[in-house]
Amino acid sequence: MGPSVKIFSGTGSQALCAKITQCFGAASGKVIIQKFSDGEFQPIFLESIRGDYVFLVQSTCAPTDNLMELLLMIDAAKRASAYKIIAVIPYYGYARQDRKDRPRVAIGSKLVASLLEKAGATRVITMDLHAPQIQGFFDIPVDHLDSSAIFIPYIEKLNLPNLTFAAPDVGSTNRVREIASYFNAEMVICDKHRKRANEIASMVLIGDVQDKDIVLIDDIIDTGGTLAKAAALLKENGARSVRALCTHPVLSGNAYQNIENSVLEELVVCDTIQLKENASSKIKVISVADLFAIAIRNAYENKSITSLFIHSQMRDK
């Protein structure tokens, strides 16, 4: 009898983990997070995991507590003699700190990768890293899932007559170009310039959007300022409709208000991060649970996950 699969959730991703285990066809593993009065916490597995494939589901949003909890769960699993410890991180926090773009700054995404490895993770499954090259910060396997696998069917159902894709900044162009190529559609770019984080100084449009139905694509929506400004710019230049699809709904600060007051028709996000209930009438959530369940099963069975990626879908068109 070979190793069995155990899937556990941290406190930051319980709702998503419940959906993943349902899609996978297994019950969530039993774990508690013991909390002390000073804010310290200690994960405790309530069942044996000796010799098992242990999948730990936890997004590192609002990142410090969730990240520390994940690291402690990994350490506990290692000390409990788990066979393999796979960190399932739907949203990988600190991914925006992926390079030294000015003097005397940290490269947070590399530090997090090192912490996960040192804690004892043997594999990472994640989705839509802010920069794909972050995979190179790891010396363990990384399965990097692509939200286009669920966004593409949604866009197809919209059946927009004059479909055009837009990148809300230059950094998103590769991601948007892949999806635009799949639909054989045009693409435009909203080129922004920041003075500081979360504050846009200026934005210009590259491309023609007159009478077009625009779909903005991005990996993260934080304050919503970029998307709201990009949507307004597109409308001012003659776009007929503007909607946005973003993988990770960080939605900090005045994000919900910014989205509600924007000219966006809708904002479609994934459930990699738990949203507030009834946050905005414009926000629609698509679950990534089935995608992660397939990735977990294939990791356990040593099967390829190529079929989950956009380039595989493009070959089949």
Residue 310's pLDDT band (cuts 50, 70, 90)? low
pLDDT at 307: 76
Which pLDDT value is given to residue 195? 59
User: 141 pLDDT exceeds 50?
Assistant: yes
Residues of the chain with CATH 3.40.50.2020: 5-146+290-305, 148-287
CATH topology of domain 148-287: Rossmann fold (3.40.50)
Confidence of residue 276 (pLDDT cuts 50, 70, 90): confident
Of 114, 113, 90, 94, the C-alpha closest to 20 is: 90
pLDDT at 172: 87
Task: Write out the catalytic residue numbers.
Answer: 192
Residue 286 phi, psi (nearest 5): -115, 135
Q: Under CATH, which architecture does the 5-146+290-305 domain have? A: 3-Layer(aba) Sandwich (3.40)
Distances (CA, A) of 243 to 11, 187, 202, 255: 31, 14, 21, 16
pLDDT greater than 80 at residue 99: yes
Specify the pLDDT at position 202: 75
Tens digits of residue pLDDT in 155-170: 999 999 999 999 988 8
Q: Tokens 């380039």 sit at which residue?
A: 311
Judged against a pLDDT cut of 60, whether residue 4 lies above it is answered with yes
Band (118; pLDDT cuts 50, 70, 90): very high
Is the per-residue pLDDT at 45 higher than 50?
yes
Range 127-156 average pLDDT:
94
| Residue linked to tokens 């595989």 | 312
34-63: average pLDDT: 94
Comparing 101-105, 209-213, 282-286, the range with the smallest average pLDDT is 101-105
pLDDT for residue 1 is more than 80: no
Nearest alpha carbon to residue 180 among 217, 211, 146, 144: 217
Residue 315 confidence (pLDDT) above 50:
no
How far from the centroid of its chain's Cα atoms is residue 173's Cα?
A: 17
Q: Residue 243's pLDDT is what?
A: 97
Provide mean pLDDT across the span 305-314: 65
* Whole-structure pTM value: 0.92
